[in-house]
Amino acid sequence: MNTLLPTTVVGSLPKPSWLALPETLWSPWKLDGDALLEGKQDALLIALHEQSRRGIDIVSDGEQTRQHFVTTFIEHLSGVDFEQRKTVRIRDRYDASVPTVVGAVRRERPVFVDDAKFLRAATDRPIKWTLPGPMTMVDTLYDDHYKSREKLAWEFATILNQEAKELAAAGVDIIQFDEPAFNVFLDEVKDWGVAALERAAEGLRAETAVHICYGYGIKANTDWKATLGSQWRQYEETFPLLQSSSIDIISLESQNSHVPMDLIELLRGKKVMLGAIDVASETIETPEEVADTLRKALQFVDADKLIPSSNCGMAPFPRDISLAKLSALSAGTNIVREELARSAPKVA
C-alpha cells in the first residue's frame, strides 16, 4: 500500500432500505431465499462503490451480508442453540436476548469466505474483513456447557483462526477482530484476552487488526460513556499488552471521545487505525475537524503508521449521514497529506 494515511472504515455501513429496516441493530431481512442472497451481494457492491468514490482506500463489505457483527458468525457454528435464548447483561451494560452454548462449539463450514471472494473479485483496492474477537463472542452468549469464559474463548479463537486463514487465502489483506469487550473486562484482557486474540490471529498471511471502542452510538452506550468521567483511560491498561503482542494494527476511538490522545504513544511501533469520525453523533465532521484530529495523533504515531478511520461501525446511521461522513474522512485526510508532502525534506 503506497498511499500515505490510507483511509478505511471500522466495519458496518447502513444497509439499503429494501434489504433491511434502516437505523436498527439486528434488523430483520426484508427478502428471503435467492432474492436475499442477490440483495446482499447488490448491497455489498453499493457499499464498495460508495467507499471507492468517496476516497476510502482500504475498502470493506460494509458488513452488508450480516445481521449483527457477532451473532451472524455464531449462527454458523454447531454447539450453539438459537432456540434456547437467555437474557444476559452484555458488555456489563445492557440486557440482550442471546443464544445458548449447549455443547462443543465447531465451525461446520466457512462463514464469510464466499462473501470475501465476491468482494475480492469486485475491487483492486486493499480489502479488510472484520470478525468478532473471542472475548466479545463469549460476552454475547449464554454458556451452559464450558462454564468458563476463558475456555470458551480459546475454542472460539481456534474457530476464528480457521476462518481467518481461509479469508486470507481468498485475498483479504487485513483481518480485523472486533473486541469492544476489551474496554470493559480489563482483568480478563490481561489474564487471557490478548492471548486468545493472538491465537485467533496466528499464522495469517494477512495483516491483523484489533478494534477496541466504546460501542455503537446507541443509548445504552452513550449512557455508559456519561459515567466514565472526563478522561477515558481504559486503553492505558490494554495498549501496553497490545504493543507487545503479535497484532499489527490497533483500531481505537478518538473523535469527540474523552480518550487522551497521548495514550497512543503506548502503541509506538504498531500501526494505529484512528477514529476521526464520531459514530454517536449525526453531525457531519468538517474536513478541518478531521484534519485537526489527525494532526494531534501524529504527535504520537509516525505518519507511515497512521490509518484514518471511523470510531466504530456506522450501521445505526441514516444512509446519507454515513456517506457524508466517509467524504469528510477523506477530505480531512487529504488536507493532512498535503501538509506532510509540503513539510517532507526534498531529495535532490
Q: Which residues bind Zn ion (CB under 5 A)?
A: 213, 312
Minimal distance, residue 8 CB to Zn ion, in Å: 13
Closest distance between Zn ion and the C-beta of residue 183, in Å? 9
Least separation in angstroms between residue 146's CB and Zn ion is 26
Whose Cβ is closer to Zn ion: residue 79's or residue 133's?
133
User: For 23, phi and psi rounded to 5 degrees?
Assistant: 55, 35
Closer Cβ to Zn ion, 69 or 192, answer by number: 69
The nearer residue to Zn ion, 170 or 184, going by C-beta atoms, is: 184
Q: Name the helix (H) or strand (E) containing 209.
A: strand 207-212
Rounded least distance, CB 141 to Zn ion, Å:
19
- β-pairing verdict for 249-252 and 207-212: parallel
Whichever of 287 and 308 has its CB closer to Zn ion, that residue is 308
Q: What is the C-alpha separation between 115 and 9, in angstroms, rounded?
A: 18
Least distance to Zn ion, CB of residue 89, Å: 19
Please give the Cα distance from 55 to 53 (Å, whole number).
Answer: 5
Taking the complex as a whole, how short is the minimal distance between the CB of residue 238 and Zn ion, in angstroms? 14
DSSP per-residue string spanning 225-285: HHTS-SS--HHHHHHHHHHTSS--EEEE--TTS---GGGGGGGTTSEEEEE-S-SS--SPP
CA-based angle 40:212:166, to the nearest 5? 50
* Nearest residue (CB) to Zn ion, 181 versus 312: 312
Chain centre to alpha carbon of residue 309: 10
Angle at Cα 327 formed by Cα 323 and Cα 332, nearest 5°? 145
Smaller CB distance to Zn ion: residue 112 or 154? 112
